[in-house]
Amino acid sequence: MQIDDVMQRSAQAFALYKEVAPSIRAAFLETIASEITLVKDTLVAAAQAETNLPAARLNGEIVRTTSQLQLFANLIKEGSWVEAVIDTAKPDATPAKPDLRRMLVPAGPVVVFGASNFPFAFSTAGGDTASALAAGATVVVKGHPAHPRTSLLVFEAIQKAISKRGMPEYTVQHVTGEGNAVGKALVVHPQTTGVGFTGSLQGGKALLAYAAEREVPIPVFAEMSSINPVVFYPDALATQAEQLAQTFAGSVTLGMGQFCTNPGLLIGLKSAALDNFASLLGTAIAAVAPQKMLHKGICEAYGKGRTNMLAQENVVLVNQSVAPADMEAWPSLARTAAKNFLANPRLKEELFGPFSLLVECEDKAELLAVLKSLHGQLTTTIVGTATDTAQWKDVIAVQSTLAGRVILNNPPTGVEVCAAMVHGGPFPATTDQRFTSVGTGAIRRWVRPVCYQNFPDDMLPDALKAANPLGIWRQIDNQFTR
Ligand code: NAP
């Protein structure tokens, strides 16, 4: 497949699609959702065969995907997301001020890399595609090589929606290919204006490097690596150990740990309560049966990474499940002292699978040192009672700087798709911490602000016209109004 042809077609479709009225774009998104629902059983069967994920999880993920499309349809039907700002002319001011009106407009064709661990919700018709289409961008999907058939079937559902709603033929295109060349060609193509990616740190950094080498650099919104540190504060550990062990064993092993929000790092202060918790958590993790991982590469990477982690000096295995069979993950809990953690950078790297490392701190100073040594994260979780949150305010303040989502007394796995969600964070969690890849805020990755100066009303986009024909919320002369 000629990537140049694909991107040229995407650019031609963009010239038409960006002019499609928001209500019609919304109907298009809704039709993609209904076409996916129509072939749900076929999609689940294909994804089960390609990803080893259980049917219940895949069915849930399809609902998440269609709900996500509906969420973006609702967002653009309402319309205020364009952030219309109007500063009316002040002809009598000295100097006179012109009429200035700003809104967000789509930037151009977007390339989306499907993720291996979410064959629906972060793939062909997933959050990146839904948010880009909602913004008015055209999309080229690079299907993940681990689930090519699933990706193609979802693309066929999108094609039906394109045809039913009379959208430009190449509003969404689908390409495949293994071995980096296709991905690189898409990112460096001059017509590409943005990239969405969920995957490895290595892959995300490679895409960022391709983008930086271009004559015209473009943003790469890559979600890559996070160990999601959880701090267990002392009163919670002393009073809720059993319940916490069950909850966090569930979170560490959910989907065999193949979630970007998997809690890979657990931190507590040295105490009998921490020892008790470690033992209970180890037992609960060991009780979880190994299951198949998404693909051979991920399973091998987890196997090697786990062996390597347990071979590090002063890292001790607390407990593990029964030995896994071929392609299965090995649920495990390990433990180390903070001084080892601080001295060994490898212990801070993501290990994608059902593994967590418990770090034991001697005192508050060491706890603070551990927190300050961490890379950027998608989430960080505070496990504490009211007594803890009152007593450890300064530590919690440091902890809260680490991630895009700061959680109190919930496990980090489970990412709501809603307006308030932030699924992003400082590098290497993502390449751009100002944005989220989940929730309605994800649309902001694919747009740019444009200011219209001194335009007559009939030349302005509807969102900026004096009569506000779309009925959206706008900021006029510093007042929010509708
Ligand atoms: P990946 O290797 O990063 O691949 C993701 C996508 O990017 C694929 O389409 C891949 O296609 C492409 N790609 C990777 N490197 C590239 C490069 N240098 N140039 C151009 N394209 C490139 O991720 P994966 O296959 O999903 O899993 C591998 C590892 O990623 C896992 O073991 C895990 O550590 C991590 N991972 C993390 C998350 C997370 O949410 N944090 C999610 C999934 C995976 P080609 O191979 O065809 O080039």
Q: How far apart are CA 419 and CA 440, in angstroms?
A: 5
Cis preceding-peptide flag for 190 (omega within 30 of 0):
no
For residue 184, the CA-to-ligand 1 centroid distance in Å is 13
For residue 456, the CA-to-ligand 1 centroid distance in Å is 49
For the beta carbon of residue 400, count every other beta carbon within 10 angstroms: 12
pLDDT digits (tens, 9 = 90+) for 339-362: 999 999 999 999 999 999 999 999
pLDDT digits (tens, 9 = 90+) for 208-226: 999 999 999 999 999 999 9
The pTM for the full model equals: 0.96
Ligand 1, atom 25: nearest CA belongs to which residue?
Answer: 116
Do 336 and 359 meet the contact criterion of CB atoms below 8 Å apart? Answer: yes
Q: How far apart are CA 13 and CA 136, in angstroms?
A: 11
> Is there an atom of ligand 1 within 6 Å of 116 CB?
yes
Residue to mutate (ligand 1; options 3, 123, 200; most atoms within 8 A of CB): 200
Query: How does the average pLDDT of the chain come out, rounded?
Result: 97
pLDDT of amino acid 1? 65
Cis preceding-peptide flag for 263 (omega within 30 of 0):
no
Beta strand 474-476 with 332-337 is unpaired
pLDDT at 239 over 90: yes
**For residue 297, which amino acid is it?**
G
The angle subtended at Cα 149 by Cα 172 and Cα 170, nearest 5°, is: 15
Do 28 and 165 meet the contact criterion of CB atoms below 8 Å apart? Answer: yes
**For residue 191, which amino acid is it?**
Q
Q: Name 311's Cβ contacts closer than 8 Å, sequence gap at least 6.
A: none
Beta strand 265-269 with 355-361 is parallel
pLDDT at 475 over 80: yes
> Is there an atom of ligand 1 within 6 Å of 249 CB?
no
Mean per-residue pLDDT for 244-258?
98
Ligand 1, atom 26: nearest CA belongs to which residue?
Answer: 116
Burial of 175 (0-12, 13-18, 19+ CB in 10 A): buried
pLDDT at 178 over 90: no
For residue 114, the CA-to-ligand 1 centroid distance in Å is 9
Token pair for residue 408? Answer: 């109190």
Beta strand 84-87 with 100-106 is antiparallel
Q: How far apart are CA 414 and CA 261, in angstroms?
A: 8
Contacts 24+ apart (CB under 8 A), 15-24: 16/168, 17/136, 17/137, 17/138, 17/167, 17/168, 17/171, 18/105, 18/106, 18/136, 18/137, 20/136, 20/167, 22/76, 22/77, 22/79, 22/470, 23/77, 24/165
pLDDT digits (tens, 9 = 90+) for 271-308: 999 999 999 999 999 999 999 999 999 999 999 999 99
For residue 172, the CA-to-ligand 1 centroid distance in Å is 22
- Active-site residues, by number, are 223, 260
Q: What is the DSSP string of 370-397?
A: HHHH---EEEEEEE--HHHHHHTHHHHH
Strand locations in 239-385 (E): 265-269, 316-320, 332-337, 355-361, 377-383
Residue to mutate (ligand 1; options 51, 52, 53, 116; most atoms within 8 A of CB): 116
pLDDT of amino acid 94? 95
Mean per-residue pLDDT for 413-433?
97
| Percent of the chain whose pLDDT exceeds 70 | 100
- Assign 177 a pLDDT band (cuts: 50, 70, 90): confident
For residue 203, the CA-to-ligand 1 centroid distance in Å is 5
pLDDT at 404 over 80: yes
Cα-Cα end-to-end distance for the chain: 48
> Is there an atom of ligand 1 within 6 Å of 145 CB?
yes
